[in-house]
Chain A
Amino acid sequence: MPTDQTLIQAEKVSRQYRLGEALIHAVNEVTLEIRAGEFVALLGSSGSGKSTLLNLLAGLDRPTSGAIHVRGRNLAALDSVELARYRRDTVGMVFQSFNLLPRMTLEENVELPLRLAEVERGEREARVAEALERVRLGGRRKHRPSELSGGEQQRGALARALVNRPAILFADEPTGNLDSVNGEQILLLLKEIQGSLGMTVIMVTHERPLAERFANRIVVLSDGRLVSNGAPS
């Protein structure tokens, strides 16, 4: 039942793919409610549909059926421009493989969402500097991604996701390409940002210990279905 605190309300959301003759139910009638300020972990094995659900909630993909309400707006009913604006203004994304653009410096990568949002040049510099300081990469702003370690790249990607001050941060396996030390640092940073900025964090992971340690709530998916939803034990 949605409350005043409800940020995301997914109702019987399904996503099917046709693969030759077969119909794949990547996400199957998932109903889920996420409140503002929560740190939710979507947990499941490979192919369970957790990344597909994350993409649907982030507005990167559209559900085959069902509805996803974010702040009262149904993402399934938005046109492509409105959906792009939702991604630009409401959402920040961090990927497993960092996805920093190799031809740009770290600073330019972080500036990219501000360019897309048509933020004035004068304001951009300060916001980029602030985002990089927050992830403790102020000294690496002129470096290209290839000159950064994996952990630094992911922190850079996190700065890029934060620079537009989004309400929701989606992280798809953010520690998947990192060693345990760097992975833990990233999650500590995520937790810190969630606390300081009051941001909602939705993280996909297949590592239960990490999910139990950092998330407020764990949603478990299996074969596209939601199998459990609750606070970590």
Chain B
Amino acid sequence: MKGRDLTELAVRNLREAVLRNSLTTLGVAVGVASLVAMLSLGVGLQTLASQRLNKSGLFDAVFVTSRGMRGMGGGPPRSNPVKREDTKPLDQAAREGFEKLPNVTEVYPQIRFFTDVRYAGSSYSTNVLGLPESSRSTGAFDGITGKYFSSPTADEAILQAEFAKELAPQPSTLIGKELVLHYAEKQTASTADVAKEKDIDKQLDEMMSGGISIVSREKKLRIAGVIESDPSAGIGGFGGGRVFIPLRVAEQLHVAGPNDVQEFVRAGGSGKPTYMALTVRVKSPKDVTRVEEAIKKMGFSTFSLLDATRSLRLVFTVFDLFLGLFGSLALTVASLGIINTLVMAILERRREIGVLKALGATDRDVRSLFFAEAGAMGLFGGIFGVALGWLIGQALTWGTTIYLRRQDLPGVKISFVPWWLALGAITFAVAVSLVAGLYPAARAARLNPVEALRYE
């Protein structure tokens, strides 16, 4: 019998015993729904965790220090001191070199300084942190009052809510107001400003000696926004600040820091600025290894948290496996329902099978017919089950969001049904149904036509 005829007959047979077959199909649908809901939860949580971690900047970043550095980026302390000639300076040239590497999106230093801020005649001591352009997409500023920086070079500041409350009881009233940053500017012989403000003899002296000087400065900033939570993200992140300004603005300030003297000595009094550490951000975590290797070849020390993402993936794979197993249990029970329905159908349709055989149906035709019926139940149950599973996932997301909002937390999407899960679940439902139909179909095909025709 041709496939189309077989399908038509199978669907027709299913329609005839509509209640029983619908209940069996519903059983399959519930099984598939539980599988899809479980796995969509696994996928959703994994996606959520990955997104959060990616946004944190921990897993798509390589932290670079020069070989001579120790501590944060330099790995374990060395037993042997590093010779000067082995150490490549982490300077502007090195930064530009990193920027040219494939899949690198951004290279920036961490600029953090402790300084005085003046607002409405009062002075406050606080930490100021330079934010790279990529911080906009971290999600840390999602709940901001006001706006993120209008441009990477805007003279604007974002205040941490606790600090903002110190300035004004209603932090939202601060938006658009001006505050003044007092800081110490480091001036080297090459700083253009030196020429403008100092007499030529002093400038010449400094150029000859290659020295540095510290000058007190002010910077007026417009308050662009206030954020409730500290966008802290550990290593390479932007935590610990109370006033945030665009990184490029922070770089232009040339704020003097406690390590400036050490840096000056390391640069050999050349006056060329060097960085303590640079953060190299890559397109995706999978690019980290290649970029890290390239930077190491350039003669720098690197550090990344890639191993942590591997562990995370392993944990989620095991998590998904268990969720899938629990989900499959319901489908297994549903497959017993298919076997039961089809075995009952064979008993009821014994005479029909006899007639089909008398009319020339082969064993294979009869087997295929029962197979097609089992497959159709699996297909319809699978499609319905995926829809049901998706709805359950949406309900879970909805419920979780309501709960989180009551806790003053932003809602999250904890369930996600990707196309491969939907397609896989339907295929799995059909496959399980076909396996369930194996025995009834074989039993129907084996029926002796004479005995089947005699059956009342």
Contacts and interface: CB of A to CB of B under 8 A. Distances in A.
Contact of A113 (B2, B351, B359, B364): B359
Contact of B450 (A55, A85, A103, A115): A55
A118 interface: yes
Contact of A80 (B5, B356, B363): B363
Contacts of A91: 360
B362 A112 contact: no
B322 to A, nearest CB: 44
Nearest to B445: A80
B449 A88 contact: no
A117 interface: yes
Interface in B1-28: 1-2, 5, 9, 12-13, 16
Contacts of A226: none
A104 to B, nearest CB: 8
Interface in B43-101: none
Contacts of A112: 356, 359
Contact of B359 (A55, A104, A160): A160
Given A103-B13, A115-B9, A118-B1, A60 B360 contact: no
B358 interface: yes
A63 to B, nearest CB: 13
Contacts, number: 67
Nearest to B454: A51
B359 A93 contact: yes
Contacts of A61: 448-450
A84 B445 CA distance: 12
Interface in B337-379: 351-352, 354-365
A116 B13 contact: no
B453 A81 contact: no
Interface string A47-72: 00000000100101100000000000
A125 B427 CA distance: 36
A84 B362 contact: yes
Which range contains the number of B residues in contact with the other chain?
Answer: 20 to 34
B361 A84 contact: yes
B265 to A, nearest CB: 93
Contacts of B364: 81
Interface residues of A, number: 26
A87 B359 contact: yes
Contact of A85 (B354, B357, B360, B363): B360
A115 B5 contact: yes
A60 B449 CA distance: 6
B450 A87 contact: no
A89 B365 CA distance: 15
A116 B9 CA distance: 11
Contacts of A89: 360
Given A81-B362, A116-B1, A60 B357 contact: yes
B205 to A, nearest CB: 103
Contacts of B354: 99
Contacts of A103: 12-13, 16
Contacts of A101: 352, 355
A88 B360 contact: yes
A116 B356 contact: yes
Given A60-B449, A80-B363, A81-B362, A87 B357 contact: yes
Interface of B: 1-2, 5, 9, 12-13, 16, 351-352, 354-365, 448-450, 453
6 contacts: A80-B363, A81-B363, A99-B351, A115-B5, A116-B361, A118-B1
10 shortest A-B CB distances, which residue pairs? Answer: A88-B360, A84-B362, A115-B5, A103-B16, A87-B360, A113-B359, A99-B355, A116-B360, A60-B449, A61-B450
Given A101-B352, A117-B360, 15 more contacts: A60-B449, A80-B363, A81-B363, A87-B357, A87-B358, A87-B359, A88-B359, A88-B361, A93-B359, A99-B355, A99-B358, A99-B453, A104-B12, A112-B356, A116-B356
